[in-house]
Amino acid sequence: MTTVEQAIELGLSKDEYQQTIEYMNRIPNITELGIFSAMWSEHCSYKSSRKWLKTLPTEAPWVIQGPGENAGIIDIGNGLAAVFKMESHNHPSFIEPYQGAATGVGGIMRDVFTMGARPIANLNCLRFGSPSHPKTKHLLSGVVAGIGGYGNCMGVPTIGGECTFDKGYNGNILVNAMTVGIVKKDKIFYAKAGSPGSPVVYVGAKTGRDGIHGASMASAAFDSDSDSKRPTVQVGDPFTEKLLLEACLELMETDCIIGIQDMGAAGLTSSSVEMAAKDNNGIEINIDKIPVRETKMTPFEIMLSESQERMLMVLKPGSENKAEEIFKKWELDFSVIGEVTDTKNIVLKENNNIVANIPLEPLANGLIYERAYEKNIITKKVNIPKNNSNWLESLKLLISNHDLCSRRWIWEQYDHMVMGDTIGMPGSESGIVRIHGNQDQALAITTDCTPRYCEANAKLGGMQAVAECYRNLCSVGALPLAITDCLNFGNPENSIVMGQIVSAIDGISSACKVLSMPVVAGNVSLYNETEGKSIPPTPQIGAVGLINDTKKQLSNIIRKNNNQDILIIGKTIGHLECSIYAREIEKIENGQPPNVDLDKELSHGKFILNLADKELISICKDISDGGLAIALAEICIMSNLGCYIKKPEEININEWLYGEDQGRYIIISESNNTEIIINEANKNNISITVIGKVEENSFIVEHNNSKQEISIDKLSNLRNNWFNNYFEK
């Protein structure tokens, strides 16, 4: 017999405990209560966000599978599909950074290859606390090492992502992992159970006590005792996962599999419940048949363990021996642990005794809460001084800032060239991987979110995150196709936080509809707070686009410097509120974010793709954090070339250089093409301005009839040394 106190300890409320009794028509035992607590956790049930997630656009002619499976799938032509998803591993990474980040990478890769796809690229979005916080250095080094340690061993390139710092993440860092894979359209596998009588099979590594209560822990806020939750963090083994990947893909070439599901959050509990419920069946599991690596494990521990590198399969009857041969060849555990039934219950047996018997419907469908929320809260407008302070000193400070400096220290720890198909390097707007065996086509993959915008106006922030991903893809010549999201917020029981969630989803939805980028997969991570303080709202977006002709791929590196013009696509107003300039130079952190004009985002992106298709440009970069000056400086540093630009009279120098107006691109044009491009822009009602030329060695700005400059070598040194200096202190 269980008690309400035990239910609360497992993360259930008093009311939820009473609901379990009503569904069961009796008091659940401890194993049953543990199963309810896992499946009704925020992490598994989406009970606070599900209502709002249903408002997102999820369909398009190229969408094969939207939300509801392990990952989303889009058609990329030639009989192939891209499979991708982003997921959080925030709480585990804060508690144990190396293993938390490593198992986050392993988990998202399993989500992809469980659908039949071979992973071809990883990206990671990292948010840490202030660099001066005593935990930041330890967390940063551990997380980066964990990502590299797992991904490198798997032989999957890590080709991009983000890393920023803000005091709002002092108590809760964010580690969001994204994986993209490729699958033949006729070889896609789903999490389904098939017909009663079909054997249920456990494959992979053995089950241990690591990760127990992981889903519940990921659905709870932290307090001063968070380190005590270390045993809830899973321990990963990438070498076992590599074997599991190859064994699964080999079995998928046979005709043995009915359905397959990764054992992720809530482990065997969620995988068995979700598979059986999809076909409106039941499932019976023999606890004694489950491979374990520790003695005297209870049914509760076995069902709630989140040990890594495990899969649950439903096979066609009679194919067990064939499947077992493959897994034994790869030196992995294989065990028939049960069968599909028609009971519509999950039944667990141990020593021929029933130790749990729960109807699947309340577990699978979970709870839906109508949380109170405050409508989109908008930060008041503030005035940023229009001073004519030395733009050069500001540039030096910004280019060497922890949020704008080079991330080379991070991505050099990742193998981004393994598999031999990476053609877009980390540090660019989007990572690019060639579709193996096809020299012409490639996938462009990017991630983005600007939390300070979201904190000021969650709806605009959600729109901007999607729009910037759209620009990142267009700027490399890729047609944007779809997104995955990872919605990181604080406590949804707080009406302000819940309002941020609702508003951000509204913004994401609006942008996805206009830009024709449906949401095909995602994850929600809530209760990211410590001692009542929530993180900044962070609706992280990952996006995938298609390059049909790699010869027309755009770059942000200038290969030569003779007679090349620098142009801006999009109108510059000089919005400094909520900018990095305002935060770092003027020490003003509030204010309103820049407006997002979705129609202009769409027309500007199409214009860039049209120029690329006509081979009128080869160099393009979107303008985002830090404004024009930072974007142009990055091009110059990457190219080891300089520039000369002249400020228009009608705008303040700092607004021009550091304003974060949206929807803008820098393009570099051969001078004999410039007039053609301007005429094309005028025909399409696109704002376009020639601002200067490519030069040899210096970054030169002219305004008020005077020139100031800095050598590219000096800029490069300022940009490249922050991380090394940080760890040398």
Q: Catalytic one among 89, 91, 575, 703?
A: 89
CB atoms within 10 A of CB 246: 16
Amino acid letter, 268? L
Is 591:382 a contact under the CB 8 Å cutoff?
yes
Helix runs in 594-626, H state only: 598-613
Tell me the C-alpha distance between 124 and 105, whole Å.
8
Q: What is the C-alpha radius of gyration for the chain, rounded to an integer number of angstroms?
A: 26
Question: DSSP string of 406-424?
Answer: --HHHHTTS--STTS-EEE
Is 712:636 a contact under the CB 8 Å cutoff?
yes
Active site residue 89: yes
Q: How many residues does the chain have?
A: 729
Active site residue 133: no
- Only one residue has tokens 């979700």, namely 274
Q: In terms of Cα–Cα distance, which of 241, 179, 208, 222 is closest to 90? A: 222
Tell me the C-alpha distance between 37 and 229, whole Å.
17
Tell me the C-alpha distance between 180 and 185, whole Å.
15
CA 376 to chain centre: 24
Strands (E), 18-117: 63-65, 72-77, 80-88
> What DSSP character marks residue 205?
S
Tell me the C-alpha distance between 392 and 13, whole Å.
57
Is 684:603 a contact under the CB 8 Å cutoff?
yes
Is 330:203 a contact under the CB 8 Å cutoff?
no
Tell me the C-alpha distance between 453 and 457, whole Å.
6
End-to-end Cα separation, the chain, in angstroms: 56
Catalytic residues: 43, 89
